[in-house]
Homo-oligomer: A and B are copies of this chain.
Amino acid sequence: MADEGLAAETVCQVALVVKDIEKASKAWAEALGLPVPEASLTGPAEETGARYHGRPTAARARLAFFNLGPITIELIEPVGGPSTWRDGLGEGGEAAFHHLAFHVRDAERTVERLRAQGMEVVQMGDFPGGRYIYVDGRERLGVTLELLASRP
């Protein structure tokens, strides 16, 4: 694959926001025929440095993952401050599609390339071992993109 655009080998994750992670995990486990995964809570803002539309946010999330070979289905229940997770869930609905994730080698260059195509960073934060960056591709691509970068 050319070292352009996302320069990613493949989609690695499909993520949904959910109102109630226990309920959603159970429904997905039944649909997939897999065990119900345990949910975890992301770190506090001091640890993650979470930013939403350029400003620090106290947003956290409860996460659950289904590992399906090369793809992970991630369920995200928003907790705390403002976030694209909360935006994505909206007023109604138990669950909604949120983003497609791609591993990227050079997050800064990827963000620059996507910005040149008209897409902006809407949220980011650190997690143990890496950083996630949400780029708003909804208008141009129909979805939010997540760039996943390992921390050197």
Contact = CB atoms under 8 A, between A and B. Distances in A.
A129 interface: no
A142 B95 contact: yes
Specify how many copies of this chain sit in the oligomer: 2
Given A33-B2, A33-B5, A71 B10 contact: yes
A24 B94 contact: no
Interface in A1-48: 1-11, 14, 16-18, 24, 27-34
Chain A interface size, as a band, is 35 or more
Nearest to A73: B11
A5 B32 contact: yes
B33 A141 contact: no
A31 B141 contact: yes
Interface in A65-95: 68-71, 73, 93-95
